[in-house]
Structure 1
Amino acid sequence: MEQEVMQAIRAELESNIDAKYREFHSSLVPGQNCRILGVRIPVSRRIAKATARDHYEVYTEQFNPEVYEELLIRGMMIGYGKLTRAEQTAELDCFVPMINSWGICDSSCATCHFMKKDQEYWYGYLQKWLKSSREYEIRFGVVCLLDFFINEAYIDAVLEEMKKIHHDGYYVKMAVAWAVSICYIHFPEKTQKLLKENSLDDWTHNKTIQKIRESLRISKEEKEMLKTWKR
């Protein structure tokens, strides 16, 4: 029974291969130790939702990923499954160390809508990932803050967290720049203060300004002002 379930999921993935998407996505996530089939994200989400609903325990117990999309489904299921908070915590503890690309990280983070509830608990939970020394574990923490904590209650805390992160990993720096740029769009005055403090390293600071200036929600005058802040 268990093997039949896993085989059926693999068969569904393989029936939805898009060769052009595989070529495109492979160029965006270099260094994968799993083969990328080339299944588009909406299809992977649909499969993850169905698997979380019908075969959560089977999938997690039999989990031995051979392709990128199987790991992606494993991460997405955590947000789609009907789990208690304790189960969600245990599942994230198991899954986050498996993350090996920004694509797996960000798509998995996006399904964790349960973090919108009981934010005090989940903010505290994310601290161990933010304080990790591993690139994708830190990115997981940053992207979850970006997705669920840029609000009136947590904006000050989020900005403080961004100031405390010092890691040379490209995908950490990009995540911080992305997060601070979104903070700026929603809370410009508070975020301007952070940028003026020179709390970020030069690369992340300049990338943040670039991403803010790329936003259609920022005025031409403000973009010109921000340009003068680059180092």
Structure 2
Amino acid sequence: MTKVQKRLFEVADKQYALFQAKLIPNIPQERVIGVRVPVLRKIAREFEKEPECRDFLNTLPHAYYDENMLHSILLSNVKNYEECIAAVEAFLPYVDNWAVCDTLRPKVFGKHKDKLLPRIKDWIASDKTYTCRFGIGMLMMHYLDKDFKPEYLELPQKVDSEEYYVKMMIAWFYATALANQWDATIPYIEEHRLSDWVHKKTIQKACESYRITDEQKAYLKTLR
């Protein structure tokens, strides 16, 4: 057992491991140690200062889900963009569940949006479930506010996937786009430009959002 694994097992919560395993059914239960996210973040803050951290990030794949979660948290805190993007590209092929994928949120990306966009387009076009999901998540996170352009709405629409976790992210993207850019996004719903499943899920998620007005929700319900 590695030093990192020993550290994770020392703070494991068996009941939480059982709970977490149910949320990521595609991961064998024996791969879930059961370390809560706040504890992982605390370990990451301590571990990123240690020389072994770089070795851990360069040693893939990891044996445990919790190691992958720690990896995502560590990469989210890398301050150098070029170093971060290279490490993300190396890690993405090993991301095998939605939780690790959605935990990977590099803060430095927000400072390099011009460089980031071509990478996002490549990720979205990937046939790997969680690489595609990650790309759509990054587009949602960084390009639906002041850096928004209407053509960005076309990128998730072009994704041809029946993978549940890809379709859920697409719906999440358009629900967020409705909250941030209603006028540009509503035609995608009015004209039923999305697949039937994503269309309905987008409306559902938008209607659950506190950022969508009651009037907008009432209108969306007429478009089901």
TM over 0.5: yes
Instruction: Describe the superposition over 1:24-66 as per-residue Cα deviations: whole angstroms up to 9, x where unpaired.
Output: 2111111215611111112112222332232332212445522
Report the Cα distance in structure 2 between the residues aligned to 1:53 and 1:178, rounded to whole angstroms: 35
- Matches of residues 75-94 of structure 1 in structure 2 within 5 Å? 75-82=72-79, 84-94=80-90
Report the Cα distance in structure 2 between the residues aligned to 1:38 and 1:26, rounded to whole angstroms: 9
The partner residue of 1:104 within 100, 122, 141 is: 100
Q: Conserved in 1, the CA contact under 8 Å of 2:179 and 2:211?
A: yes
Instruction: Calculate the TM-score normalised by the size of structure 1.
Output: 0.88
1:193 matches 2:187:
yes
Offset of 1:155 from its aligned partner? 4.3
Alignment length (residue pairs): 222
Aligned to 2:138: 144
- Matches of residues 22-171 of structure 1 in structure 2 within 5 Å? 22-33=17-28, 35-55=31-51, 56-82=53-79, 84-108=80-104, 110=105, 112-171=106-165
Please give the root-mean-square deviation of Cα atoms over the aligned residues, in Å.
1.9
- Off by >6 Å, runs of 4+ in structure 1: none
Unpaired stretches in structure 2, ≥5 consecutive residues:
none
Offset of 1:148 from its aligned partner? 2.2
Residue 172 of structure 1 aligns to which amino acid in structure 2? V
TM-aligned CA distance change 1:73 to 1:218, over 3 Å? same
Report the Cα distance in structure 2 between the residues aligned to 1:150 and 1:53, rounded to whole angstroms: 34
Report the Cα distance in structure 2 between the residues aligned to 1:126 and 1:219, rounded to whole angstroms: 30
Q: Provide the secondary structure at the position in 1 that maps to 2:145.
A: coil
Offset of 1:202 from its aligned partner? 0.3
Q: Provide the secondary structure at the position in 1 that maps to 2:48.
A: helix
Report the Cα distance in structure 2 between the residues aligned to 1:158 and 1:176, rounded to whole angstroms: 12
Unpaired stretches in structure 1, ≥5 consecutive residues:
none
Q: Which moves more between the two structures, 199-208 or 73-82?
A: 73-82
Q: Provide the secondary structure at the position in 1 that maps to 2:121.
A: helix
Instruction: Describe the superposition over 1:155-180 as per-residue Cα deviations: whole angstroms up to 9, x where unpaired.
Output: 42431212211211100000010111
